[in-house]
Structure 1
Amino acid sequence: MKPFLVPALILSVLPVSAAQPPLKIGLDTQATEWIVSLEGGGQVCDRAGTPLLKLAPDERLRIWWDSRGTADPTSEYRVQVGPPHTAAQAAALTKRLRDLGEAPDRVKVPDADTWRVLTGHFKTAPEAEPVLQKLQDLGFDELWVATESRDALPRKGRALYAVSDRYERRALPATGVWLKPASELTSLQGKGRYRGKVEIFPNAQGRLTVVNTLDLETYLRGVVPKEMGAWEFPSLEALKAQAVAARTYAVANRGKRAADGFDMGDTVADQVYGGRDGEQSLTDRAIQETEGLFATYSGKPIQALFMANCGGHTADVAHVFGGDAPYLKAAPCYPAKPMTLAYASGLPVTAEAQQPWLSWELLRLAAGIVPPDWLSGERLARPARIEDLAAPVRALQQRLALDPAPLARDGNLLIALAQALGFHRVVDGQERPQDAAYFLPGSLPAGDRLLATFLTRRGIVPAAAWATQAPPTLRQALVALGRLWQDLDPLTPGEGSLLMDRQVRRKRGGPEPLSLSPRLLLAEESPDGALRLVEKADIQVGDRLKWIPAEDGAAAVLVRRLDPDGAAWDRYNPTAHWRVDYAEADLLALVRKRIKVSGIRELQAQHNDQGRVLDLTLVDTEGAPHRVRGMHIRGLLGLKDNVFRFLTVGQGAQRHWIFYGRGWGHGVGMCQTGAYGMALEGASFQQILTHYYPGTELRRVD
């Protein structure tokens, strides 16, 4: 096992002001009223700071904008022509469209040095179809109906009002208000609590804009746990990498939404920001330990893009947003050599490969109730005998503090096992002869029927077991005994992820040691739940382990779960792999939200070496091709990512489209789940950042 080598941290002064100006974060632009309160009470001021009215602690106030009826729409539909372009390409395309009688605009892509070319202004998507058809007939092969922010003149309203809990109404300045708590926090009902300065003011669409102004490091306290929460990714180094990326992104995108009155929003369109309610202690520590650090290229903060899950390999920015950033190149999300730890069974195990007879009931019994060498297919296939089962039953009776009733030697052995553990005492008045007739064959003796019905209903003994005249096998008897034990004393195996120091981390818990019995049984669980005993295993760091403790608390059985998402660093996210099934009509409805098609004849996808779809052509039922690239592909099909393949089942209106894919996001920059996987295997936050942003340096503001 070879750990990551940690490079020296490069510290130098950034060519930006050491005193970073505050950030303005847009919390909302759509509501026409807010209910607010101030921690410890406080004052409502005009935006210049002049006090207007006082609020007591816990007093709520309604801020209401009377906008003279229905508010203006905040968005419109436009036709995007082609993929993102360089400035020169966009200028040439704009000129060509003007020559065709259109009135195009260029809009900069926020996350790359490229431009989108848009034409037309439409209230609804169908209104864009004539322009779409015109351009398609002229040979433009990549057209898209995009939803865009709508420019508008400031809307005149009656007034901005404050309404108290006593329904007293007071006019406020039409320019808006500044909420100043006596303590630290401003609460917005239905939204959360926020540090820093909170302002509410009318916007051009006849709604209210809410802006939270605060310093960069405090802003990060509400961002990092929302983007990579400590509960989901409890690794300090991964969280430090996220802190640096989020800090860098914030500085590089300052003013991105200045036209709306703030720098960035609080959603995935920029960075998710949760204010005070999102803060966590471990992410606070990650921010503090990286304070002032930025990822830079050629001395400037980079466009530090990141996504939830890259699907095993990130993408070159040129294939998603266009442009050419040297630090946003494709990078693998697999270790060159997985970090593994060796484990071995302390007992001889069977050499049988598949071991279809193995179950959790047998593993639990082997942790102190039956001899582990009974776990052999050949032995378990033998008929069960009273002599074999007497000792395990006595051991269970003692473990459960039950009366030491002996096993009955006459009659059905499965019934005898249940009677020895006292289950016959619960059937009188509970089970009915009618249910016995429903579950059981008529040949079962009358005295056994009610208890057999109970065992079948509880799933302890399968119904088919009562129909055979052959005696149960040792495996059938032990599985029934194990299920009886589980019914009386339910056991959930311990479960946690393997860490480099051989500790384990339970879900939403911290690292803890795992003591192993010297007589350890080692097993593997496949993705379908099948179990098999193994003599030894090299277990990859991060794999999930399950264990069954012996009476002394040490793990007597250790089960390695083979991760269904494989060996990638980004396998710790539920979207590492996914499946989406669309009926023909549902897929067509999705497609028609973006492009005008009569129907779908076929989809033609061009993939790169990592399985990411870079270019998609939809051929409609009239044979016309419609080309889509980059970010638009997953949007068109309603998928989580562009790493997918698909199958079709059925024909015509009965056809289904089944997409098998992996990853979640645009695929450019740092893979957040991959960062966690790297950290589990010993990578520092510096190594994580330089892996996903090659050629960058970490620099600190002086």
Structure 2
Amino acid sequence: MFRPAALLLVLLAPLLPLRAAEPTVRIGLDTQATEWVVQLEGGGQVCDRAGKPVMKVAPDEKLRIWWDSRGSSDPTQEYRVQVSHPLALPEAEALMKRLRAVGEHPDRVKVPDADTWRVLTGHFPTTEAAEPVLQKLQDLGLDELWVSSESRTVPPRKGRALYAITERYERRPLPLGGIWLKPAGELTTLVGKGRYRGKVELFPNAQGRLTVVNTLGLETYLRGVVPKEMGAWEFPSLEALKAQAVAARTYAVANLGKHARDGYDMTDTVADQVYGGRDGEQSLTDRAVKETEGLFATYGGKPILALFMANCGGHTVDVSEVFGGDAPYLKAATCYPVRPLTLPFAAGVPVSPEARQPWLGWDLLRLASGIIPPAWLDPNVLSAPATPATLAAPVLALQQRLGLDPLPLAAEGNLYLALARSLGFDRVVQGQERPQDAAYFQADGLPEADRLLAEFLSRRGLVSASAWTAKGRPTLREALQALARLWQDLQPLAPGEGTLLMDRQVRRKNGGPEPLPLAPGLLLAEESPDGSLRLVARSDIQVGDRLKWIPDASGAALVLVRRLDPDGAAWDRYSPTAHWRVDYSEADLLTLVQKRLRVHGIQGLQLLHDAQGRVLEATLVDDRGRPHRVRGMHIRGLLGLKDNVFRYLTVGRGADRHWIFYGRGWGHGVGMCQTGAYGMALEGATFDQILKHYYPGIALTKLD
């Protein structure tokens, strides 16, 4: 998956025509280690990279592959100053001419898919070394200056030797050019990394370390990609997973050869697409790959650059606003349904007409599932004083539910203590509760015989310590809440919880669809994001909303609670990053900014938004009043945010100032929204409808 943690523009590879046979892909699994412990399923052979056998490996034998390099590695990264955002060729040439006139030696790097060019100048070993050029260009009035990490071509470093070390500590020399691990079975295990199908090679690289490459067919590769990018447990919808399979297949083919000079096509990380090998495979994602086998998203007969992101923040953005250039299938698209799909639910009992019920909680709802009449959930009833006579029937019903011997409530004394004694709590305090603790919880104002039980109830959080000094009788609501807490302590409630599906079924977490029968006397409620509840007579519940329920003995829901999603009604609401908040101190934000810009302080931050709230341009004004403008992906990189859909507030002044960013989404915002694809599928969209929504104008083409 393409995410901003990687360099932004190197992923935009040329469009390739469809091939007549299944492509083979080479995945770079690692480039940093100098040794690996490997196992071959069923044993096998270690060969040179041409396939000539070098040594045998026994079944279950672990073999250590060690590259004896010569000291420290050669650097393969450098830092350059990028000037401006990607430009069309005439603008790039004009900018380069201007840079040459001031003594710079700029280069341009093409962004093939966007048909734009990045203009770079300077070659520096560190970001600090680039600062004089940044300052110089800044003083000349150039803006959108950015220190960019770039790879450079370095020949493979010569080492002493490549060895295989057996479990008997025998050292066997291996070809310096690298090896090919050939298992007798199907899998090669890289200990600490995982198991892999296909061909696994290890060979020295320019950094003085070992490159590990897994070569395999495209469809097999996708079996390890789709669950890592859009796993079945997180997004349990076949149609959404099929959309991801087509997007991942198309993206892979469009990026073949991207890292050719390093010996592979793509990495197994977020810089390209996350790939988990055999250990990442799941049955539902396997099915998604199989049912879309050989299917590509195409435009003009060629596979598109199928960019996608985790969460688009409610609306995707035109590629021109992020990477420059133009692609007709990478246009902005909403992540909201025209009309949300809702299913009607109605309560089976009369509901109080009160619009707001701040007194209502899960404690009272649980009691209403057979302990008290639902009619008691009325503010007028609950505000009346509680008496032992009123509570006698609920206490008896709860004793029967818990299998306790019936014990009448005491007519005199503290009502909270009477409730606790009716459920047997007085039998657990002798010998473990202490008078000193009773005094600590203010229970010393009670008769001596009551103090230890009162202290126990306060210590457990079942009755407030202030209750022991309160004047007058508690209200019925207060007494019932205490009774519910006592019940919870003896028999914790675990309500059912799941997502509402189109067919009125629910899906529990990590489970499949199941029916949700409703009891005739259903009590219906809605839960706000702050956790408050209110009873309702009817609720049009949006498909995808979370439901909680308390079942009766037959499994039918006696109480059904709809959770009003704090992320609203969008298709992409099913992610922790749908909305977020980030709080930086002045010093922390300045440290982030100084990684990219030469500033000593921050005076202000000016933002240019599009109609959907995405920041297209940010201008940071430094402590000297000089503006520093950045666009596109550089904005979230500069500020360390998940996405460009944000606003901010500041509190405090000077060094005490804090910057509070409120935003939504995670990713660059271009192409398919993975969470939105899942939301569309929940509401009945097929995989082709999902793809054509996020990639307008495409066709789905089968590879014969």
Q: Which moved more, 1:18-27 or 1:513-522?
A: 18-27
Describe the superposition over 1:573-616 as per-residue Cα deviations: whole angstroms up to 9, x where unpaired. Answer: 00000000001111111111111101110001100000000000
User: For residues 513 and 48 of structure 1, do their structure 2 counterparts lie closer, same or farther at Cα, with a shift above 3 Å needed?
Assistant: same
Q: Which residue of 2 aligns with 1:44?
A: 46
Q: Which residue of 2 aligns with 1:355?
A: 357
RMSD (Å), alpha carbons: 1.2
Match runs of 1:48-197 below 5 Å: 48-109=50-111, 112-197=114-199
Report the CA distance between 1:135 and its aligned residue: 1.0
Describe the superposition over 1:532-590 as per-residue Cα deviations: whole angstroms up to 9, x where unpaired. Answer: 10010100000000001123321100000000000000000000000000011111111
Q: Distance in 2 between matches of 1:556 and 1:489?
A: 18
The code of the aligned residue for 1:63 comes to I
Task: Tell me the SS of whatever aligns to 1:25.
Answer: strand
Report the CA distance between 1:154 and its aligned residue: 2.2
Q: Distance in 1 between matches of 2:526 and 2:57?
A: 62
**Which of the residues 467, 484, 501 maps onto 2:503?**
501
Q: Which moved more, 1:543-552 or 1:328-337?
A: 543-552
Describe the superposition over 1:253-295 as per-residue Cα deviations: whole angstroms up to 9, x where unpaired. Answer: 1111111111111111111111111000000000000111111
Q: Which residue of 1 aligns with 2:544?
A: 542
Q: Distance in 2 between matches of 1:651 and 1:223?
A: 48
Kept in 1, the 8 Å contact 2:652–2:658? The answer is yes
Quick check: 1:379 aligned with 2:390? Answer: no
Q: Which residue of 2 aligns with 1:5?
A: none
Q: Distance in 2 between matches of 1:286 and 1:233?
A: 12
**Which of the residues 197, 219, 230 maps onto 1:228?**
230
Task: Tell me the SS of whatever aligns to 1:537.
Answer: strand
Q: Distance in 2 between matches of 1:34 and 1:110?
A: 37
Kept in 1, the 8 Å contact 2:372–2:394? The answer is yes
Q: Which moved more, 1:480-489 or 1:27-36?
A: 27-36
Q: Distance in 2 between matches of 1:120 and 1:63?
A: 39
Q: Distance in 1 between matches of 2:569 and 2:154?
A: 51
Kept in 2, the 8 Å contact 1:440–1:449? The answer is no
Number of matched pairs: 689
Q: Distance in 1 between matches of 2:553 and 2:437?
A: 39
The code of the aligned residue for 1:69 comes to G
The code of the aligned residue for 1:349 comes to V
**Which of the residues 282, 303, 306 maps onto 1:304?**
306
**Which of the residues 402, 414, 417 maps onto 2:416?**
414
The code of the aligned residue for 1:112 comes to A
Task: Tell me the SS of whatever aligns to 2:323.
Answer: coil
Q: Distance in 1 between matches of 2:98 and 2:177?
A: 43
Describe the superposition over 1:9-53 as per-residue Cα deviations: whole angstroms up to 9, x where unpaired. Answer: xxxxx9522213311111111111111111111110000000001
Kept in 2, the 8 Å contact 1:29–1:208? The answer is yes
Report the CA distance between 1:165 and its aligned residue: 2.0
The code of the aligned residue for 1:632 comes to H
Q: Which residue of 2 aligns with 1:692?
A: 694
Report the CA distance between 1:111 and its aligned residue: 6.0
Quick check: 1:628 aligned with 2:625? Answer: no
Kept in 2, the 8 Å contact 1:296–1:697? The answer is yes
Kept in 1, the 8 Å contact 2:443–2:454? The answer is no
Kept in 1, the 8 Å contact 2:336–2:569? The answer is yes
Describe the superposition over 1:329-356 as per-residue Cα deviations: whole angstroms up to 9, x where unpaired. Answer: 0000000000000001000010111111
Q: Distance in 2 between matches of 1:108 and 1:400?
A: 73
Q: Distance in 2 between matches of 1:661 and 1:699?
A: 37
Q: Which moved more, 1:238-247 or 1:63-72?
A: 63-72
Describe the superposition over 1:281-338 as per-residue Cα deviations: whole angstroms up to 9, x where unpaired. Answer: 0000000001111111111110100000000000110011111001100000000000
**Which of the residues 446, 452, 455 maps onto 1:453?**
455
Q: Distance in 2 between matches of 1:489 and 1:626?
A: 61
Q: Which residue of 2 aligns with 1:644?
A: 646
Q: Distance in 1 between matches of 2:605 and 2:80?
A: 24
Q: Distance in 2 between matches of 1:86 and 1:505?
A: 49
Q: Distance in 2 between matches of 1:195 and 1:445?
A: 75
Match runs of 1:166-565 below 5 Å: 166-565=168-567
Q: Distance in 1 between matches of 2:453 and 2:114?
A: 71
Match runs of 1:579-598 below 5 Å: 579-598=581-600
The code of the aligned residue for 1:108 comes to K
The code of the aligned residue for 2:85 comes to P
Q: Which residue of 1 aligns with 2:3?
A: none
Kept in 2, the 8 Å contact 1:111–1:305? The answer is no
Describe the superposition over 1:505-555 as per-residue Cα deviations: whole angstroms up to 9, x where unpaired. Answer: 111111111110010000000000001100101000000000011233211
User: For residues 110 and 575 of structure 1, do their structure 2 counterparts lie closer, same or farther at Cα, with a shift above 3 Å needed?
Assistant: farther
- TM-score, with length taken from structure 2: 0.96
Describe the superposition over 1:441-468 as per-residue Cα deviations: whole angstroms up to 9, x where unpaired. Answer: 5322211111111111111111111111
Kept in 1, the 8 Å contact 2:648–2:660? The answer is yes
Report the CA distance between 1:628 and its aligned residue: 0.5
Report the CA distance between 1:105 and its aligned residue: 2.2
Task: Tell me the SS of whatever aligns to 1:548.
Answer: strand
Kept in 1, the 8 Å contact 2:156–2:206? The answer is yes
Kept in 1, the 8 Å contact 2:581–2:662? The answer is yes
Q: Distance in 1 between matches of 2:204 and 2:110?
A: 26
The code of the aligned residue for 1:413 comes to L
Task: Tell me the SS of whatever aligns to 1:442.
Answer: helix
Q: Distance in 1 between matches of 2:573 and 2:609?
A: 22
Report the CA distance between 1:156 and its aligned residue: 1.6
Kept in 2, the 8 Å contact 1:669–1:693? The answer is yes
Give ranges in structure 1 of 5+ residues lacking alignment.
1-13
The code of the aligned residue for 1:167 comes to Y
Structure 1 stretches of at least 4 aligned residues deviating more than 6 Å after TM superposition: none
Kept in 1, the 8 Å contact 2:257–2:264? The answer is yes
Report the CA distance between 1:645 and its aligned residue: 0.4
The code of the aligned residue for 2:238 comes to L
The code of the aligned residue for 1:543 comes to D
Task: Determine what percentage of the aligned residue pairs are the same residue.
Answer: 76
Report the CA distance between 1:73 and its aligned residue: 2.3
Kept in 1, the 8 Å contact 2:462–2:485? The answer is yes
Report the CA distance between 1:110 and its aligned residue: 6.6
Report the CA distance between 1:226 and its aligned residue: 0.5
Match runs of 1:20-39 below 5 Å: 20-39=22-41
Q: Which residue of 1 aligns with 2:9?
A: none
Q: Distance in 2 between matches of 1:45 and 1:189?
A: 19
Q: Distance in 2 between matches of 1:637 and 1:596?
A: 14
**Which of the residues 674, 677, 691 maps onto 2:676?**
674
Task: Tell me the SS of whatever aligns to 1:53.
Answer: strand
Q: Which residue of 2 aligns with 1:701?
A: 703
The code of the aligned residue for 1:680 comes to L
Q: Which residue of 2 aligns with 1:17?
A: 19
Q: Distance in 2 between matches of 1:116 and 1:508?
A: 45
Task: Tell me the SS of whatever aligns to 2:445.
Answer: coil
Task: Tell me the SS of whatever aligns to 1:522.
Answer: strand
Q: Distance in 2 between matches of 1:400 and 1:21?
A: 64
